Amino acid sequence: MTRFNFLTSEEIKISRDFKKNGFIIRDVANNKSLNWIQSKFINLIKKKYKFEKNASNLKILNFFHKKIAKSDLNNFRLKVLDSINKDVNFKYHYFEVAKPFIEAVAGNELAMQKRINLNIQLPGDDSSLLVVHSDVWAGDSPFEAVVWLPLVDCFKTKAMYILPPNKNNKFNKKISKISYANNEKIYQSIKKEVKWIKINYGQVLIFNQSLPHGNRVNKEQETRWSMNCRFKNIFTPYGDKKIGEFFVPITLRTVSELGLKYKLPKMK
């Protein structure tokens, strides 16, 4: 049987990289949208904290830990989250920075997570840790991908790690035979095999959330700012998180919309 593949050469490359590495990193597709997002955060920060007049946006974000007490971090993060998720334009611009890349791996009829997540990780702070996990372990659908957008350069422990697909295959066989008491023991068993992501501001990461991933204490001298949001094809299977509850359709096409509404007329 002939197999047709009408993807572009770039879409094929993105697909191959995603399957091989478990993720892709690309320059953002829309710099205006990225600048809009960064400005949104800077405005929210400046409403609460004062900075030097000539301080660049990246300096404000990278050295935010010098302005905020660790005890105030979570309340501040929640207020920022509430603000960005109430803004419909924020979701639009978030999609714009990754649109061609997420379409290459998930299709062009997409559902987007209702609430975008935010991680602010201060140096030495252990209150913002995301232990090793696979989203699918907690009931998410394997038909999802995560768009992870940094607002600063992220590297080493200022970033996140992921277990590559070839290593995950071995891990899956091992975990079925060994009982792990907690997530830390799982991490210790794979820490030499995980891939630490290096990504600069101006780039976007899309990764396979079925693979084990997480972060550790930020041992670098700068604050990490990153967002993440799940996307999936509207018509692929859902896990515990359903459309309308957790996901919203963002690019439903006309034929699909009409097809979903179509009712066969009653014949005599």
d(CA 71, CA 59): 22
Q: Which helix (H) or strand (E) holds 63?
A: none
Mapped onto helix, strand or coil, the DSSP state of residue 186 is helix
Q: How far is CA 129 from CA 86, 121, 213, in A?
A: 25, 8, 12
103 closest CA partner among 244, 257, 234: 234
pLDDT of residue 138: 87
Cross-strand partners of 207 = 23, 146
pTM score over 0.75: yes
pLDDT by 10-residue block (mean), the chain, 268 residues: 80 96 98 98 95 94 96 96 96 98 97 97 92 91 97 98 94 70 83 97 98 97 98 96 94 96 89
Q: Are 209 and 235 contacting, i.e. CB atoms less than 8 angstroms apart?
A: no
Q: How many CA atoms, within 13 angstroms, populate the side-chain half-sphere of residue 7?
A: 18
d(CA 150, CA 215): 14
pLDDT of residue 194: 97
